[in-house]
Amino acid sequence: MHACHQHEKMCVSLVPIFNHLETEQMAEIMKTAKSGTFKRGEIIYHAGDKSDSLYILNKGKIRIYRLSESGKEQLVRILHPGDFTGELALFKEETHESYAEAIAMTQICMINRTDLQELLLKYPSISIKILTEFSNRLEEAERQTTRFATEKAETRIAVFLAECLEDQGQFNMLELPMSKKDLASYLGTTPETISRKLADLQHKGYIRQISNKKIEVLDLDGMLLI
Amino acid sequence: MHACHQHEKMCVSLVPIFNHLETEQMAEIMKTAKSGTFKRGEIIYHAGDKSDSLYILNKGKIRIYRLSESGKEQLVRILHPGDFTGELALFKEETHESYAEAIAMTQICMINRTDLQELLLKYPSISIKILTEFSNRLEEAERQTTRFATEKAETRIAVFLAECLEDQGQFNMLELPMSKKDLASYLGTTPETISRKLADLQHKGYIRQISNKKIEVLDLDGMLLI
DNA sequence: CGACAGGTTGACCGTTATCAAAGATCGTGG
DNA sequence: CCACGATCTTTGATAACGGTCAACCTGTCG
């Protein structure tokens, strides 16, 4: 673990929290940050760990998942460079409830709790950035909860495809951002159901499966009316 | 709509956001706050409304619910005095995704977006309070999502009863905090299923239904092992 | 007292989980 | 860079879970 040296990298990785700050403030933040690397399969933090850092992903991919009361795993999200995690437990003196696992060679920057809180008090505008980010996450989490509560698996899958399409801005071609096993865990279903429902959607003419991860959407509106 | 006059009420209603501030700062905040009252059934905000206030509940009860993509309603939470809402859209220049409906004679205080952001920049400690609150809500929302994703209805109901018991600290007697219809909506199921599963739990000897809303828990651990 | 919303119960059926087995894909180490 | 093993994916058969519809019951409030 050593301080982050490359400003370019920091600029990338700290989007969207710190990118509105002046260079000198950035330098100050960089001084307080540590970096670390993890190999595929390594756990960055466990549920139950006392949490004391904000982790900002520089390079690689991280899988965030939770275990339910009965021990079943659910994928919460996948982090890409520039995303951060660990923020939840930063503001409550408690422990993580989720697991963070590197799923590729991964490099992260870490800012510990006390340093971050000092930064927040010193540069209140950072707070507003984080609040904004939290708002979005909360809205997203509640939307997701409502979907689970009210939609069946087929609809959840269709909505997920629609969101992929929107995110990737690729007209009518999309690439699944994770394995179907992970997708099943993310959508609260099983890999078998994902397979079958995609086959159904294809049968009905809404999509065409090009390859394992590539899907062409033929009738977005029709698909969403299911 | 008129300024909030009674400091006592403010102190109550602004817990837990502002209660660490000095009296004079409190006075400043009170100057910027407006108050309003709503009758049972009145809507405080609609999904789609441009949101521009933080609402702090003084007196009464508010039902927060969302509509899914396909138009089904889900109860997100019920607010009690001291709780706040409207915070989400405050940090993104967008609109509400949820509905807030008074379910009793209700009195609220409102702080508008620009005033609040000024307060945040002036008193960074408020940000940390709100961040803490957001963290808790986010954790809660993600835990709820995981439950929907991985547990069946019976387990969700059992876990809900366990949480009621914990919240109410009443040893082994609990009172449902909402109608079974609302509970069904909150737990992503139907009133029929709630009825049946409670009857099942009673049959298996885990609970005893005293009256419509009162339940005695006979074997908490057993119930949670379902 | 009657009306109405909420709650319960039964019968039935659609959706999806589960188990099993075969086929495809990926990552790793030689 | 290729080949092998591990993991992921697909498909089929089956069963469980819970949603829906309908009828009836209950309590509440004018």
Query: Is A83 in the same domain as A186?
Result: no
A195 touches strand D (CB under 7 A): yes
The yes-or-no verdict on residue B89 having pLDDT over 70 is no
* pTM of full prediction above 0.75: yes
Query: Could you read off the pLDDT of B121-150 as tens digits, one per residue?
Result: 888 777 777 888 888 888 888 999 999 999
Residue A2 has a pLDDT of 47
Does residue B141 lie in a domain region?
no
Query: Is B66 in the same domain as B156?
Result: no
Work out the angle at residue A47's Cα, subtended by the Cα atoms of residues A45 and A48, and round it to the nearest 5 degrees.
Answer: 105
The yes-or-no verdict on residue A19 having pLDDT over 70 is no
Does residue B38 lie in a domain region?
yes
Query: Is B114 in the same domain as B173?
Result: no
Does residue B146 lie in a domain region?
no
The residue from A76, A106, A136 where one domain ends is A136
Instruction: Output the average pLDDT for chain B.
Output: 85
Does residue A61 lie in a domain region?
yes
Query: Is B52 in the same domain as B101?
Result: yes
Query: Is B93 in the same domain as B176?
Result: no
Please report residues of A whose CB lies closer than 8 A to that of B124. Answer: 120-121, 124, 127
B16 touches strand D (CB under 7 A): no
Per DSSP, the three-state class of B46 is coil
Query: Is B217 in the same domain as B109?
Result: no
Q: Which domain holds residue A119?
A: 5-136
Q: Do the chains contact at A187 and B149, CB–CB below 8 Å?
A: yes
Please report residues of A whose CB lies closer than 8 A to that of B117. Answer: 128
Confidence of residue B157 (pLDDT cuts 50, 70, 90): very high
Percent of chain B's residues with pLDDT above 90: 40
Quote the minimal CA–CA distance from B164 to chain A in Å: 16
The yes-or-no verdict on residue A23 having pLDDT over 90 is no
Q: Look at chain A and report how many structural domains it folds into.
A: 2
The yes-or-no verdict on residue A215 having pLDDT over 70 is yes
Quote the minimal CA–CA distance from A208 to chain B in Å: 23
The yes-or-no verdict on residue B11 having pLDDT over 50 is no
Residue A3 has a pLDDT of 44
Per DSSP, the three-state class of B95 is strand
> How far is Cα B130 from Cα B4, in angstroms, rounded to an integer?
21
Output the CA torsion sign for A177, A179, A180, A185.
negative
> How far is Cα A83 from Cα B88, in angstroms, rounded to an integer?
20
Residue A18 has a pLDDT of 67
Confidence of residue A6 (pLDDT cuts 50, 70, 90): very low
Q: Do the chains contact at A70 and B151, CB–CB below 8 Å?
A: yes
Residue A9 has a pLDDT of 43
> What residue type is B20 in one-letter code?
H
Q: Do the chains contact at B117 and A135, CB–CB below 8 Å?
A: no
Q: Which of A19-28, A113-122, A208-217 has the highest mean pLDDT?
A: A208-217
What's the CA A197/C1' C20 distance, rounded, in angstroms? 20
Within an 8 Å CB–CB cutoff, is residue A120 touching chain B? yes
Does residue B144 lie in a domain region?
no
Residue in A64, A116, A134 to test binding to B, most B beta-carbons within 10 Å: A134
Query: Is A17 in the same domain as A73?
Result: yes
Residue B32 has a pLDDT of 83
Residue A74 has a pLDDT of 94
Query: Is A163 in the same domain as A126?
Result: no
DSSP E strand boundaries for chain B: 2-3, 34-38, 43-45, 53-59, 62-67, 73-79, 84-85, 98-102, 106-112, 173-175, 207-209, 214-217
Output the CA torsion sign for B110, B112, B117, B119.
negative
The yes-or-no verdict on residue B1 having pLDDT over 50 is no
Q: Report, as an integer, the average pLDDT of B148-154.
A: 95
Residue A4 has a pLDDT of 46
Query: Could you read off the pLDDT of A53-93 as tens digits, one per residue?
Result: 888 888 888 999 999 888 889 999 998 888 888 877 677 77
Q: Using the structure block, give the residue that is written with the tokens 């809180």.
A: A117
Query: Could you read off the pLDDT of B13-68 as tens digits, one per residue?
Result: 455 666 666 667 777 777 788 888 988 888 899 888 887 888 888 888 899 999 98
CB A21 within 8 A of CB A29: yes
Does residue B45 lie in a domain region?
yes
Residue B17 has a pLDDT of 66
Quote the minimal CA–CA distance from B88 to chain A in Å: 5
Does residue B189 lie in a domain region?
yes
Query: Is B207 in the same domain as B155?
Result: yes
The residue from B136, B167, B198 where one domain ends is B136
Q: Report, as an integer, the average pLDDT of A128-138.
A: 82
Q: Report, as an integer, the average pLDDT of B99-105.
A: 88
Q: Which residues interact with strand C by a CB < 7 Å criterion?
A: A 40, 152-154, 188-190, 192-193, 197, 211-213; B 179-181, 191-192, 194-196, 198-199, 209, 212
The yes-or-no verdict on residue A200 having pLDDT over 50 is yes
Q: Using the structure block, give the residue that is written with the tokens 């993580």.
A: A96
Residue B8 has a pLDDT of 42
